[in-house]
Amino acid sequence: MLKRDTRDPATRLRLLLTLLAIALLWPGIRYSELDLGVLLKADSQSEMGRFVSAFWPPAHGEEFLQLLWQATLQTLAIATAGMALALLLAIPASLLASRALSLSAASRSGRPSALGRLLRWPVRGLLIFLRSVPEIVWALLFVRAVGLGPTAGVLAIAITYSGMLGKVYAEIFESVDQRPAHALLQAGSGRLAAFCYGILPNVAAELLSYTVYRWECAIRASVVMGFVGAGGLGQQIDLSLRMFAGGEVASMLLTFFVLVLFADQISRLLRWRFA
């Protein structure tokens, strides 16, 4: 009969890995000054308690609701205007960066010539640079350059999202069947015509759903960017936080949830209609 082994044969290895992880993370605790106790300390607890207890009831004065409505509209407008500007830059950039419209690729079974790749590289590099700096950093820079307010938010969204959209569009163009476009190019059509009739019909649905999804992200981003002074709901949340106005913060967070849900529904509607 088999002898029953009550020990876990992998115990030693697991213990070793755990110890290693702890040893690696130990200096991290010092660097991040981690102190969970601060949440349980009496004075910070009473401070937080007073702040959180002011959450109920959420502020709902006539004047405040007016302000809230304005801020919400501003957030929506920032996201929409930012996306529109981003598309202006992203569509030409994606056409330039994508290998799908390469003339040399059409006659070389999909692999563009070295020169073509060399010429596309600067556009790709530009797109990488635009999207690698987080949007909130762009917002911070633009607040310094063009002043407090929604313009900084619009520009920040336009720049970051044109980088993302341009890259993803270029990849979507390359991901579909290339033969129609190649056939058109080899038959002597122009690149734009080849794009419109060879590629666009296949990618339209995917382009649209990705764009709508990004618009949704832009709304969330524009709320967050308000914290560095780029207008909209975020700026109001920041102001109320600094004044310890719990009720106002609560109603603005609620508005934020409603806004996100609303954007979700709109994007679902658009995707369902067009895709």
Which amino acid is located at 150 in the chain? P
Q: Which long-range contacts (CB under 8 A, 24 or more apart) does 114-120 make?
A: 120/96
How many other CB atoms are there within 10 angstroms of residue 155's CB atom?
Answer: 22
Complete DSSP assignment for 167-218:
HHHHHHHHHS--HHHHHHHHTT--HHHHIIIIIHHHHHHHHHHHHHHHHHHH
Closest CA to 170 of 84, 102, 83: 102
> Please, is 74 exposed, middle or buried when counting C-beta atoms within 10 Å of its C-beta (0-12, 13-18, 19+)?
buried
Nearest to 166 by CA among 113, 92, 225: 92
Q: How many residues bind another protein (CB under 8 A)?
A: 54
Q: How far is the CB of 192 from another protein (least distance, A)?
A: 21
Work out the angle at residue 114's Cα, subtended by the Cα atoms of residues 117 and 203, and round it to the nearest 5 degrees. 40
Q: Which residues inside 205-244 make contact with another protein, applying CB under 8 A?
A: 220, 223-224, 227-228, 237-238, 241, 244
Among 141, 200, 239, 245, binds another protein (CB under 8 A): 141
Q: Which of 59, 81, 156, 168 binds another protein (CB under 8 A)?
A: 81
**Of 169-177, 183-191, 192-200, 250-258, which segment contacts another protein by CB under 8 A?**
250-258
Range 99-118, binding another protein (CB under 8 A): none
Two structure tokens written together for 219: 């709304």
Interacting span for another protein (CB under 8 A) from 58-66, 73-81, 100-108, 109-117: 73-81
146 contributes a contact to another protein by CB under 8 A = yes
Of 112, 150, 163, 166, the one binding another protein (CB under 8 A) is 150
- Contact residues for another protein (CB under 8 A)? 8, 25, 27-29, 31-36, 38-39, 44, 47-48, 51, 73-74, 76-78, 80-81, 84, 132-134, 136-137, 140-141, 144-146, 150-151, 154, 220, 223-224, 227-228, 237-238, 241, 244, 253, 256-257, 260, 270, 273-274
